[in-house]
Structure formats: structure tokens, C-alpha cells
Amino acid sequence: MAKVFEKPTSFYSNFERKTAGSKKSTHYCPGCGHGNVHKMIAEALEDLGLAERSVFVSPVGCSVFGYYYFNSGNFQSAHGRAAAVATAVKRTNPDSIVMSYQGDGDLAAIGTAETIHTANRGENITVFFINNAIYGMTGGQMAPTTMIGQRSTTTPGGRTEVDHGNPIKVCEMLATLPAPTFITRVGLGNSKQIMQTRKAIRKALKIQAEGKGYSFVEILAPCPTGWKMDPPDARDHLLSTMEDIFPLGVYKDTSEDVTEDHWKRVSLPFDVNKRHEYLQAMKTPLDLEPVELKQDLNCKFAGFGGQGILTLGLFLAQVGMKAGHQVSWFPAYGPEMRGGTANCSVNICKDRIGAPTVEHPNVLVAMNQPSVEMFEDEVVDGGWVFLDSGICTGTASADRLKVTAIPAAEMADAVGTPKVANVVMLGAICAATGTFEPDYVKDTLRVIVRKKELLEMNLAAFDAGWEFVKNG
């Protein structure tokens, strides 16, 4: 059989997406390294039989138009984000072959975070990193890989360590991570290097096809235009200077040790029936048992963090839900809930609830003195106030409010733990306001309190609070 070296079929036969110039040639400058790498990737996709399911993610930079050439699914991505786009495509369709193709500015400056984290997650993709030590498309500015002494349009006197930092060695950096499977640096300086590059590209794509994880191929490439050199001189320059700073070689290779599909993630279509079952199973397991609501309850519960203030609100709201009313629960959220004080607003209403925040409560539970002082003036005339009399010193509004001072924490302690002081309060609220009968609330608690021993104490605490109000 004759061996023919020719344009791989995983290139488009005509580059129809090109808007200027020949539809047969690339937009790259004479002697540019991108074309070589494109050609070897395209050849590998064809030879390995991967082209049909491949996705090529183009970056921003000279290779922004990668999609002109590759007969694959194509994404053009934002500057530095190719690895994030590639991650999502691969995770969503684990059978696809996904390549991100990025230059040094894209991959190692603006996209450093994406580069490192994609490698660290061991995404089963292949990253091709074209390192030509300069920003080509934007006009020859300093790249993260520009070498010390190298002149660029933003380092006109040459890059210095003190003013600009050192060139970043990406392979060396990524090789410190446990997840990546294959990390190598190759070059385009001469035929030997080119053929090594070809081999590395094929190996990287094969690793991905086998589900063996993240592969990264850095390619030292010439930029004759950016370097202001003839193409052959640029290749010589690459050999004489770049290799010293960026040594070629394999920095990591665990492909022999990784089992096939180890890094292949599962992504399944979302079956409607399965979703139906799943969502239905999320329901709050309270059957509707309508109870008439004598009056709307607009409650403010406040105290120290850890006193079960938010839980008290949740319990009462769920009792209201079971009773078929409109309910809302809103916590004061954020640092204050983690630090010291906590409060929440609960509405239980016959009709549509307006503000979920309770500005003027008709029920206030205050489990410390600052809470009394903060909210007592806001309670509507004739409203109920419940104070923990073991903690609070009292209210100044007793003449216009129905005040119940109840040693909730002490009573809770007596039934087993001060933690259920909030449920003592719940019992007191139900008794004083006459909204929900004990059995009804306790049935609710039996459903929503999951821990058996805690449930028993909750039920006892509720009874204690109820009895305290009913019988003193």
C-alpha cells in the first residue's frame, strides 16, 4: 500500500467559515507553529477514529479561528475559559472527545485558574498549550511565558525578573497535582521535535479516548511575526533559547497505571418518570388536615443563636401548613445567625400573605432580654408576648400586651434537655392563642421530628408549655 501524507479529512476540505483570503489556506502567518499542531491533531483524530465525536474549543488569540479548520463540533470560547467550556461539554457528554486549544496568554495568564482547576479535577479532556512566549494576535505583548531579556511591545527593554516576574513553567506546575494523567512538553524546533510532538498528541488523545483522564501537551512553537524573524530563524531561535527555559520531556505519565474509564464520568438523560418519582419523594410528609384559623398569626421569634428560635418558627409554620393555611417563614440570615442573636418571622394566614417579614407581630417570643427590648414596641396592641422568665427581666409594655412569662429553659431541662425550650414556647403559644389543639400539634411533631429520643422530649416539652398556660 502506498503511504500518502496529505491533508487529513478531519480538516474541512474548504475553509468556508473564513471571511477573508483563500478558503484553502489558513489565516496564520508564514512559518507559524499553529498550522503544524493543527495538522497533527487533525491527523490523530482521523487515524484514531475520533473525529465524528470530537469537539474543538478555540480560545482567544491567534487560534481563535480554530473552528475555520477542524471538521468537528466547534466552540469559540471567551479568553482564558476554554478549559471551563471543555469541562462542561465533556461532563455532559462523556463519550465526546474534547480538546481545548490555548495559547500562553489565554492558558497561563487570564485563564490560569481554569487551567489549574481543570487539571486538578482530572477532567477527561486534552489540553493543547501553544507556548510561543508572546501575545501574537494582540500585537506582540509580553506573555506569561516571555523569557527574561525578551523584548515585546510591553517590555521594550526586555523582560526583567523584578519588573515583570519570571516566565511561568506550566508543565512543572501542573505536574505537582495528583490527578493529571499525562503532562508533556514538546517542541517544533526541528523534525525530530516535530515527530515527538506528533507522538505526544496521539498519546494524549488516546488517553482521553480510553477514559484515562486529563492530558496536557505543551508545544513550544515559533511566532516569526511576533519575534520579528524569518521562519527558519525562528525555529533556530526556539532551539537555541526556549528549550533552556522550558525543557522538553514528559513531566507526568500515569497512563499505564490508570485503568480504562477510571476518569469517565456518568451523565444520564433525565427520564421524566424517574424525575417524577424523585420529586414526589421530596414532599413534606404532612397530610392536609384543615383546621379553621381563628385569626392570622404574625409572629416574631427572637433570642440567642442556639436556643432553637429558627426551629420554633419552622415547627409552627409546618403546623400551619398541615392545617391548610398560607404560611411563610423568614429568618434574619447571615453573620448574625452564626454569631449571637437569631430571629425569624412566621406568618400563618387565611389568605395570601403579603410581606413575609413581620413588621408588627401579634405574637412575640423573646428568649432573651435584648429581644424583648428590640421588638416589644412593635407588637400590636393586645398581642401576645412570651418571655423566658428565667432569662428575661421583663417587659415595659405589659399594660397593652398579653404577657406570658414562662421559665421555658428550666421546664425544658426538667423534661430532659434545655434544647427543647423552644417547644415549651410552642405549647404556650398554642394554649394562649387558642389556635391549634395539642393532639394536632403533636401529630405534626411526630412527623417532622425524626430522632425518636428527641421526639419524646419535644412532646413532653409541648405539654409542659401548654399546661403552664392552661393551668398556671
Cα distances from 252 to residues 108, 176, 224, in angstroms, run 19, 9, 30
Q: How far is the CB of 170 from another protein (least distance, A)?
A: 16
Q: How far is the CB of 337 from another protein (least distance, A)?
A: 10
3 or 452: whose CB is closer to another protein? 3
CA dihedral 375, 378, 379, 385 (to 10 degrees): 10
> Could you tell me if 149 and 208 are in contact, meaning their C-beta atoms sit under 8 angstroms apart?
no
> Could you tell me if 366 and 385 are in contact, meaning their C-beta atoms sit under 8 angstroms apart?
yes
C-alpha 400/C-alpha 388 separation (Å) is 19
SS3 266: coil
Among 67, 216, 436, 466, binds another protein (CB under 8 A): 67
Among 244, 282, 292, 393, binds another protein (CB under 8 A): 282
Q: Which of 174, 249, 242 is nearest to 214 (CA)?
A: 174
- Residues numbered 76-105 forming contacts with another protein, rule: CB under 8 A: 76-78, 81, 84-89, 91-93, 95-98
Q: How far is the CB of 390 from another protein (least distance, A)?
A: 30
Q: How far is the CB of 269 from another protein (least distance, A)?
A: 8
Among 195, 340, 377, 381, binds another protein (CB under 8 A): 195
User: Would you count residue 290 as binding another protein (CB under 8 A)?
Assistant: no
Among 44, 62, 64, 421, binds another protein (CB under 8 A): 64
C-alpha 252/C-alpha 66 separation (Å) is 27
Assigned C-alpha cell, 116? 489549574
Q: Which of 58, 87, 88, 82 is nearest to 70 (CA)?
A: 58
346 or 464: whose CB is closer to another protein? 346
**Interface mask (CB under 8 A) for another protein, residues 131-170, using x and -?**
----------------------------------------
- Residues numbered 22-61 forming contacts with another protein, rule: CB under 8 A: 22, 24-26, 28-36, 38-40, 42, 51-55
Among 146, 181, 208, 328, binds another protein (CB under 8 A): 328
Q: Given the DSSP bridges, would you call strands 326-331 and 341-349 parallel, antiparallel or unpaired?
A: antiparallel
- Residues numbered 240-279 forming contacts with another protein, rule: CB under 8 A: 265-270, 272, 274-276, 278-279
201 or 408: whose CB is closer to another protein? 201
304 or 330: whose CB is closer to another protein? 330
| Measured CA angle at 43 (ends 52, 75), to 5 deg | 50
- Residues numbered 200-239 forming contacts with another protein, rule: CB under 8 A: 224, 230-232, 235
> Could you tell me if 134 and 220 are in contact, meaning their C-beta atoms sit under 8 angstroms apart?
no
C-alpha 398/C-alpha 35 separation (Å) is 85
Q: How far is the CB of 184 from another protein (least distance, A)?
A: 17
Q: Given the DSSP bridges, would you call strands 73-76 and 54-58 parallel, antiparallel or unpaired?
A: parallel
SS3 334: coil
> Could you tell me if 376 and 396 are in contact, meaning their C-beta atoms sit under 8 angstroms apart?
yes
- Residues numbered 365-424 forming contacts with another protein, rule: CB under 8 A: none
136-144, 301-309, 333-341, 382-390 -> range binding another protein (CB under 8 A) = 333-341
Q: How far is the CB of 245 from another protein (least distance, A)?
A: 23
User: Would you count residue 292 as binding another protein (CB under 8 A)?
Assistant: no
| C-alpha Rg value of the chain to the nearest Å | 35
162 or 279: whose CB is closer to another protein? 279
User: Would you count residue 284 as binding another protein (CB under 8 A)?
Assistant: yes
Assigned C-alpha cell, 459? 412532646
C-alpha 375/C-alpha 384 separation (Å) is 12
C-alpha 193/C-alpha 202 separation (Å) is 14
- Residues numbered 344-363 forming contacts with another protein, rule: CB under 8 A: 352-357, 359-360
Q: For residue 406, give the DSSP letter.
A: E
- Total number of residues that touch another protein (CB under 8 A): 111
81 or 159: whose CB is closer to another protein? 81
